[in-house]
Amino acid sequence: MDNKREDTMKVKVTQIKSGIGRTLRQKQTLASLGLRKMNQSREHELTSQIQGMIAKVNHLVKVEEI
C-alpha cells in the first residue's frame, strides 16, 4: 500500500462570495478550484498549488479540513 496517500490532508473549499466584479485572475482561480456558483463546494488534496490558489481568493472562499 502507498502510505503517502494516507498522509495527505484533504480540504473542502466552498465559495461564499460572488466572483462578479472581481479581477479576471481571481475568476480564473475560482474556476481552477472547480467553483462556478455560490455555495458550491469541492474537495482537494492540500498541495502547495492548491494552497496558493486558496490564498489568492481567500476572501471569496471558506476552507474546512476533512
Q: Inform me whether the pLDDT recorded for 5 exceeds 70.
A: no
Spatial neighbors of 54 by CB under 8 A, at least 6 apart, are 11, 13, 33, 61, 63
pLDDT for 8: 83
Average pLDDT score over residue span 15-23 = 96
Predicted local confidence at residue 54, as pLDDT: 97
Inform me whether the pLDDT recorded for 40 exceeds 70.
Answer: yes
Q: Which domains does the chain have, with CATH numbers?
A: 3-65 (3.30.1390.20)
According to the model, what pLDDT value does residue 2 have? 55
Higher-confidence residue of 50 and 6: namely 50
pTM of the prediction?
A: 0.84
